[in-house]
Amino acid sequence: MKTIVTIVGIRPDFIRMAEIFKKLDKNFNHILIHTGQHFDKNLSSIYFDQLGIRQPDYNLQIGGPNKEHYHQSAELFVKIIDLFKSKNINPDIILFLGDSNSVMAASVLKKEGYKIGHIEAGMRSGDKRMLEEINRTICDHCSDYLFVYHKNYKHKLLKENISKDKIFVVGNTIVESCSHFIEKIFEKEKLNSHILLDIHRPENFKYVERMEWIINYATKASNKFNKPVKMLNFKRTLNYINQYNIDMSNIEVIELMDYGTYLQFVYDSIFIISDSGTAQEEPALLNTKVIVPRDFTERPESIINNCSFMLNKNNFNESFKWINAKKKMNLSWLGNGKTSDKVIEVLQNKL
């Protein structure tokens, strides 16, 4: 039986890979490695429990309070090679998902001669301020198999001279991960009771001017729609806000939630304000609009299909009009919810 290693490290990885993990266990000798980049219970173990994911075979524990990306990457590079050698792990392929610091392990493993697969390949924002942009580009160019969500991402890889024979369009993993929760959520009335604020990217929170106008926008939106703003407690973001002495007005800080509770909270939002990549996809499945306070996005399909709106400090009023507009979202860009089957089929055929 062929051996496949998966290496994951953050909340979106666990969510997006949940169904793939289960099918890898059934079809291959599957070794699951958690890098430990996300170590807090509310960002890690709670998702394994709620999504029915078995426990990892190994946890490298590279995360921790105040650890920067270079601490995590340096520790990961040494620990992953040491683990493979000490446990005599010799996989036929190593699978990564996404663009966290954990995917940087692809570079050292490729140098050691292992085959690499990357799920969520081909996304590009063009914004090199984003650590994620650097991570995903490196992982893509180390990969032997590139699983892309959408044909547009395939075209981006082809422009970077990656062979078409390595690229497989499989749809978005988030659809099947959400589906179990969404069926129950849709049985309830959408409350439109609040605005969710989710800011955790360094290209926002590290710059006082950006954080000022984002908080100002959230306050104006609260007054415009007469709804309270609930802000997720990402500690680094709040630390910078406090450091900058930015007035939070009546914005309420709330704790991070388990996945089902989070999806319900998104569903009950009149709209959300988020710089998350995943949050340009999940809310669309819940018929909740997203305001994206970023200069660039790796998911332009979300904008094109009326699921999200790119916000800057000069288009507040335009965004309010967009929120009030009744134009329907187009969800076809997310795929048909059978991504895990397609990934498994490619691996079975190629290995």
Tell whether 142 and 206 lie within a shared domain: no
- Structural domain boundaries, residue 246: 181-333
Residue 240 tokens read as: 């910078």
Cα–Cα distance measured from residue 96 to residue 117, given in angstroms and rounded to the nearest whole number: 6
Cα Rg, the chain, nearest whole Å: 20
Tell whether 328 and 339 lie within a shared domain: no
| DSSP element (H, E) containing 285 | helix 282-285
Tell me which amino acid residue 80 is: I
Tell whether 9 and 114 lie within a shared domain: yes
Cα–Cα distance measured from residue 33 to residue 132, given in angstroms and rounded to the nearest whole number: 20
Digit-coded pLDDT (tens) for 46-62? 777 888 889 999 999 88
Tell whether 215 and 310 lie within a shared domain: yes
Cα–Cα distance measured from residue 16 to residue 343, given in angstroms and rounded to the nearest whole number: 13
What does the pLDDT read at residue 338? 94
What does pTM read for this prediction? 0.92
> For the chain, what percent of residues have pLDDT higher than 90?
82
Q: What is the CATH number of the domain that holds 44?
A: 3.40.50.2000
User: Nearest 5 degrees, angle CA 262-CA 69-CA 76?
Assistant: 100
- The three-state secondary structure class of 308 is strand
Tell whether 125 and 56 lie within a shared domain: yes
Q: What is the dihedral of CA 141, 143, 144, 145, to 10 degrees?
A: -110
The residues with which 271 forms a beta bridge, in sequence order, are 195, 289
Residue keyed to tokens 């007469």: 226
Residue keyed to tokens 């590279």: 62
What does the pLDDT read at residue 300? 96
Contact 121, 136 (CB under 8 A): yes
Contact 179, 337 (CB under 8 A): yes
Cα–Cα distance measured from residue 175 to residue 16, given in angstroms and rounded to the nearest whole number: 9
Digit-coded pLDDT (tens) for 9-49? 988 898 899 999 999 999 999 999 999 887 665 555 777 78
| Edge-to-edge order in the sheet of strand 308-310 | 252-254, 229-232, 194-198, 269-274, 289-292, 308-310
Tell whether 162 and 190 lie within a shared domain: no
Contact 108, 82 (CB under 8 A): no
Digit-coded pLDDT (tens) for 228-258? 999 999 999 999 999 999 999 899 999 999 8
Digit-coded pLDDT (tens) for 257-285? 988 999 999 999 999 999 999 999 999 99
**To the nearest whole number, what is the mean pLDDT of the chain?**
94
Tell whether 93 and 199 lie within a shared domain: no
Residue 120 tokens read as: 């969520």
Domain count, the chain: 2
Residues 6+ away with beta carbon under 8 Å from 142 = 106, 107, 109, 110, 116, 118
Inter-axis angle of helices 11-27 and 339-350, nearest 10: 50
Examine the pLDDT at 307 and tell me if it is beyond 90: yes
Tell whether 151 and 12 lie within a shared domain: yes
Tell whether 20 and 41 lie within a shared domain: yes
Query: What are the distances in angstroms from CA 311 to CA 87, 274, 275, 315?
Result: 49, 10, 10, 6
Digit-coded pLDDT (tens) for 195-239? 999 999 999 999 999 999 999 999 999 999 999 999 999 999 999
Tell whether 315 and 345 lie within a shared domain: no
Query: What are the distances in angstroms from CA 118 to CA 74, 93, 149, 209?
Result: 21, 10, 11, 36
| DSSP element (H, E) containing 253 | strand 252-254
CB hemisphere CA count around 59 (13 angstroms): 13
Closest CA to 15 of 176, 210, 255, 163: 176
- Parallel, antiparallel or unpaired: strands 269-274 and 3-8: unpaired
What does the pLDDT read at residue 152? 96
Cα–Cα distance measured from residue 160 to residue 141, given in angstroms and rounded to the nearest whole number: 9
Tell whether 81 and 219 lie within a shared domain: no
Tell whether 136 and 228 lie within a shared domain: no
| Edge-to-edge order in the sheet of strand 116-119 | 58-59, 29-34, 3-8, 93-97, 116-119, 145-148, 167-169
